[in-house]
Chains A and B, each alone.
Chain A
Amino acid sequence: MLHTVNKSSFERNSLQSCVNIIDDSSVILLIEDGVISATNNTQSSIVSDLASQGRVYALQGDLEARGISSKVADNIKVVDYAGFVDLVVEHGTPVSWV
């Protein structure tokens, strides 16, 4: 299953809640302010395990809009909107964590 997270983990606990509850086949797409959790920062550890398994994506346009494209943590896959659509097609209707 696909989970989209649109809040920074400095703002809300939605990413942590999402990580706590998802099953082994789920993937996470970070969008909007959620992409802040894709960077190397004090909250990176929330998704680092999942990222090492190739299960964390971040939306390119939202990284660029925030000037953090060059700070994306290891193993996080950067996708554009077309990639977002592909994830929805592949994994089914997403759960939107807001």
Chain B
Amino acid sequence: MKISIQVNEGPYQHQSADTAYQFAKAAIEKGHEIFRVFFYHDGVNNASRFTVPPQDDRNVVNNWADLKNADGSDIDRVVCVAAALRRGMLDESEAGKNSVEGNNIHPAFRISGLGQLIEAGIQSDRLVVFGD
């Protein structure tokens, strides 16, 4: 079955980012395909490449980045552009467009719009929302 996930909360702030990851992992282990993970609201913070948790703690950002489907295919990790920009989360392209120096989106994630969430809902058999 094709499953997409929406994450509305940031890592280390609320459990939902961890729950969403554990759910995605379990779905893959059961032979399902994760079509897309859409990071919305504070969930955009899951995409920060500057996240450096203590060594004995889980790395939520890397967990998402390393997650792969059972057939080895990559998972589409999409960060909502409006939610990201207003929280200071920018990739190289957005930084250039907005004349901001530096960028902090992990390369495993891409910035896009809400249309990607709608499309995930249409293309997937299930859309599971995790939030606070």
Let me know if A96 and B130 touch, CB within 8 A: yes
Interface residue? A98 (CB, 8 A): yes
Distance from A86 Cβ to chain B, minimum over Cβ atoms (Å): 8
Please, could you name 22 A-B residue pairs with CB atoms under 8 Å apart, sorted by A? A6-B15, A6-B16, A32-B16, A32-B19, A61-B22, A62-B15, A80-B26, A81-B22, A82-B30, A84-B23, A84-B26, A85-B23, A85-B26, A85-B27, A85-B32, A88-B27, A89-B32, A89-B126, A96-B128, A96-B129, A96-B131, A98-B132
| Size range of the chain B interface in the assembly | 20 to 34
Tell whether B92 is near chain A: CB-to-CB under 8 Å: no
Tell whether A58 is near chain B: CB-to-CB under 8 Å: no
CB proximity to B under 8 Å, residues A32-52: 32-33
Output the nearest chain B residue to A96 by Cβ-Cβ distance: B129
Interface of A (DSSP majority class): helix
Quick one: CB contact mask for B1-41 with A, threshold 8 Å, 1 for yes? 10100001000000110010011011101101000000000
Collect the chain B residues with CB atoms within 8 Å of residue A5's CB. Answer: none
The contact of A92 among B22, B126, B131, by CB within 8 Å, is B126
B58 CB to nearest A CB, Å: 13
